Amino acid sequence: MSPEPSILVTGAGGALGRQVCASLLSTGHPRVIAASRAPERLRDLAMAGVEVRHADFDQSTTLDAAFYGVSRALIVSTDALMVPGLRRRQHEAALGAALRQGVRHIAYTSMPDPVRATSIPFALDHAAMEEALRGSGAGWTSLRNSWYQENLLAYLPQIVRDGTWFTAAGTGRIAFVARTDAAAAAATVLATDHAQGAIDIAGPQALTIEEIAAIVGEGLGRRIRVEHVSPAILQLEMVRQGVDPGVVGMVAMTEATQKAGHFEVSGNPLNTLLGRPSRTLEDFVRIHQRDLLELS
């Protein structure tokens, strides 16, 4: 009987990578490797029996050693968004090392519809990585993660306090996904080679902003009025509400993509992959009720 394949998770110090490792451990997988540019931050995973390795996408000398002896790997996309071209070079460096070391199956965290989501500048990085994976000769899965429900915590408390949700998304829909479900999906793919190619990792509800506001308002016992505005007014109003300007820019890009319909997915591939229902937005509001009311 062949031994269980070794599984490497890059970016294991981040919120998603850490949860992927935890999900693999919870299923009893015996050969989990956590890689990070700051491996000293992974002492808790090491204590849990995970092998820890150094992997810095900007230091190619670390990457071959990180991927050595690995059967399956998750390349978590980096947060290098401010320097044009840097993120793509980082991903290419990681993929090159994985291929040189003979990794048989490579999963990657992408985003919905990266080729058409032109309102998101970094979508092109994801599209390029998917194309590279497609031509790599290795087994591959692109996990097209929708925006995380947890992202809402960066601006929804300010909206709740103000009482008005300004939006430029029109009637476009978005299916926010729980990060823990996205992590569980990645762990399932890594542990079983369950999926090949691109797969949409989206929440169970594709909702308009008005529908989201209704769910949030009902869950918090607050009335939230929705006002449809231009992208420029959206940004001005969010800044007035006290939202961080960097977050405001991302919301504006997200809503442009949402309005264009590029966050919509068909069916519910995440539930199929997990073999269970994924977390709803109602669940998110209930779990984070105190956080969402923090500024009120």
- For the chain, what are the domain ranges? 7-145+178-201+266-274
CATH superfamily entry for domain 7-145+178-201+266-274? NAD(P)-binding Rossmann-like Domain (3.40.50.720)
Give the percent of the chain with pLDDT over 90.
87
Q: What is the mean pLDDT of the chain?
A: 94
Mean pLDDT across 122-140: 95
**Token pair belonging to 234:** 């959206």
Question: How do residues 7-63 score in pLDDT, each as one tens digit?
Answer: 999 999 999 999 999 999 998 888 999 999 999 999 999 999 999 999 999 998 999
Mean pLDDT across 263-270: 86
pLDDT at 2 over 60: no
Question: How do residues 246-264 score in pLDDT, each as one tens digit?
Answer: 999 999 999 999 999 999 8
List beta partners, residue 73. Answer: 8, 106
């420029």: which residue's tokens? 232
- Reference 19, options 109, 113, 154; nearest CA is 109
By 3-state DSSP, what share of the chain in percent is helix, strand and coil, each rounded to 5? 45, 15, 40
Question: How do residues 84-114 score in pLDDT, each as one tens digit?
Answer: 789 999 999 999 999 999 999 999 999 999 9
What is the pLDDT confidence band of residue 1, given thresholds at 50, 70 and 90? very low
What is the pLDDT confidence band of residue 194, given thresholds at 50, 70 and 90? low
pLDDT in the model for residue 3 = 62
Cα separation, 142 vs 233, whole angstroms: 35
Q: Which helix (H) or strand (E) holds 105?
A: strand 105-110
């050595």: which residue's tokens? 68
Cα separation, 191 vs 5, whole angstroms: 8
